[in-house]
Amino acid sequence: MADFIPTDPNFRERVAASFDRQAFLATIGARMTVLEPGYCELTMSPRPDLCQQHGHVHAGATTTLADTAAGYAAYSLMPAGSAVLTTEFKVNLLNPARGDVLVARARVIKAGRTLTVVRSDVVGVTGATEKPVATMLATMMCLADSPDPA
Amino acid sequence: MADFIPTDPNFRERVAASFDRQAFLATIGARMTVLEPGYCELTMSPRPDLCQQHGHVHAGATTTLADTAAGYAAYSLMPAGSAVLTTEFKVNLLNPARGDVLVARARVIKAGRTLTVVRSDVVGVTGATEKPVATMLATMMCLADSPDPA
Amino acid sequence: MADFIPTDPNFRERVAASFDRQAFLATIGARMTVLEPGYCELTMSPRPDLCQQHGHVHAGATTTLADTAAGYAAYSLMPAGSAVLTTEFKVNLLNPARGDVLVARARVIKAGRTLTVVRSDVVGVTGATEKPVATMLATMMCLADSPDPA
Amino acid sequence: MADFIPTDPNFRERVAASFDRQAFLATIGARMTVLEPGYCELTMSPRPDLCQQHGHVHAGATTTLADTAAGYAAYSLMPAGSAVLTTEFKVNLLNPARGDVLVARARVIKAGRTLTVVRSDVVGVTGATEKPVATMLATMMCLADSPDPA
């Protein structure tokens, strides 16, 4: 796995400020638990209002976690003054989304000037055991000189 | 576009009962506006608590709408006593998710015994105009003899 | 379906010249049968050397046809002096790839300045009947001021 | 990474026999260089007749290599008397496909009774260095009691 050098030394503040502006992440209770250059981990706790008809977390909530982790893994490497957009992703659902917490771990595979490709894996953590829930492959786009609104 | 003959004459009740058990759909305010054999339309209204950092509906909420419409388009053709699972999907985000309402329209492309392939398009509707928001290609799996829990 | 206005009046010559430089398309016997702004149709004839273990055309050959049609549907709308690159695609295989000919029909869904999203469907044509073989969703990238090599 | 126990002790012969029946793999010069339970590596050498307009290996040929490696990684775990089908895949193209050889390495992520999810990465190897070319996420289907034709 390549190590990445961030171009913006203040990437942590930039990412945190963007995260805090995403109301939907508060709605689903996502929190950022790790951020490194090219890597982001988000955690959420299953709740009844996030579930589908079989009592597991809805694939849409799981996908939101994976997509958001992927976006911030990519955004950590983008320059100051830029914005990040998801252009597309594909997700395979591997096992029912359950556990004490769900954790999405996203890692940049290829950081280009315009497009960044990210892999994002979601696991369900119960006690000391982890079970794969979903795996995502996503493409993120850098919009230069398009800072997030204040 | 092929016309589909449902194998379960009570598919509307079966789909509606399943939809009503999905708490996350209530959380995001999704409602089923059309259901025909092999076709499902869901509608949601943008709200601040569904938005991302630029003030548009979060890709995760849009994807939830598209995935759920795809699932019920497929489930409408599945036999009584079965359950439906999303195995995977890919979504391309085309334009910011905004409008008076977002509408997901899902249509079965290929209904197999085990796997059903569905296309699901999300548009933003503002007055009389529509703008494409996202397009999804999804694979749904039929679990025979696995009815949703009562 | 939107109608597209090409920005380069010589798009047909530009696309044809690019197509002719792709040796792999000659290897699989692909030919361009229709080109319109934002639309491209390619045709290939099943041959034993294109087949997989069950005697149908290999998914890789089918995918090559779909991807190439998608690329030229996008490239038809790109400016003179540009090059086109596939950044990613997803394909669902719907039925065995067989018939008198396989035809890929690609249509631009969204033409952006940098990225163009294309849907590409492959059918098997036998006499007067068509059967769906595969459906693809692809993202193409425009490299400005990067003409194909002469 | 999980270790997998093959259910068919003769999986190597079964996979090799299937590979040898795929004429398209001979056409592109693919050879199987590693096979372990849940893992498959294929190698091909760039040739002019496999290239696209910029002189790199065509994405369709690269995809064929990745898809085939994914299929045999999955098939290694399937029972005797079964057949394997690709149901869908998504590929991101990361860098131009070039090198002394291209190598696809496919590893099963989740082996289910019916569906198996596989990740397949293609690298270009030049001397002692490797460069990522493509990454694929694929779903393979097991057809029980459907042996390949003799």
Q: Are C133 and C119 in contact (CB under 8 A)?
A: no
Residues 6+ apart with CB under 8 A from C102: C43, C44, C45, C46, C57, C62, C65, C122, C123, C124, C125, C133
Phi then psi for residue A28, to 5 deg, are -95, 0
From the list A92, A94, A109, which residue is nearest D94 (CB)? A109
Contacting residues of C for D118, CB less than 8 Å apart: none
Categorize the per-residue pLDDT at D148 as very low, low, confident or very high, splitting at 50, 70 and 90.
low
**Euclidean distance between CA atoms A15 and D25, whole angstroms:** 46
Q: List, for residues C58-97, the tens digit of each pLDDT value.
A: 999 999 999 999 999 999 999 999 999 999 999 999 999 9
For testing the chain B interface, which of D115, D137, D143 should be mutated: the one with the most B CBs within 10 Å? D115
CA dihedral C116, C121, C127, C128 (to 10 degrees): -90
| Predicted TM-score (pTM) of this structure | 0.96
Q: Is the pLDDT of residue B56 over 80?
A: yes
Contacting residues of A for D95, CB less than 8 Å apart: 110
CATH: 3.40.718.10, 3.10.129.10, 3.30.930.10, 3.40.50.970. Which one for C11-143? 3.10.129.10
Residue the block writes with tokens 């040929």: D61
Number of helical (H) and strand (E) elements in chain A, helices listed first: 3, 6
> What was the pLDDT predicted at B79?
97
Phi then psi for residue B26, to 5 deg, are -70, -40
Q: List, for residues B68-80, the tens digit of each pLDDT value.
A: 999 999 999 999 9
Q: Are D111 and D77 in contact (CB under 8 A)?
A: yes
Q: Which residue has the higher pLDDT, D10 or D145?
A: D10
**Euclidean distance between CA atoms D119 and D69, whole angstroms:** 9
Residues on C contacting B at a C-beta cutoff of 8 Å: 90, 92, 94-95, 109-110, 117, 119, 132, 135, 137, 139
Q: List, for residues C14-65, the tens digit of each pLDDT value.
A: 999 999 999 999 999 999 999 999 999 999 999 999 999 899 999 999 999 9
From the list B88, B114, B141, which residue is nearest D88 (CB)? B88
> What was the pLDDT predicted at B101?
98
Residue C93, SS3 per DSSP: strand
Q: Is the ipTM of this complex over 0.90?
A: yes
From the list B52, B57, B148, which residue is nearest A54 (CB)? B148
The residues that bridge with B117 in the sheet, in sequence order, are B110, B139
* Domain segments of chain A as ranges: 11-143
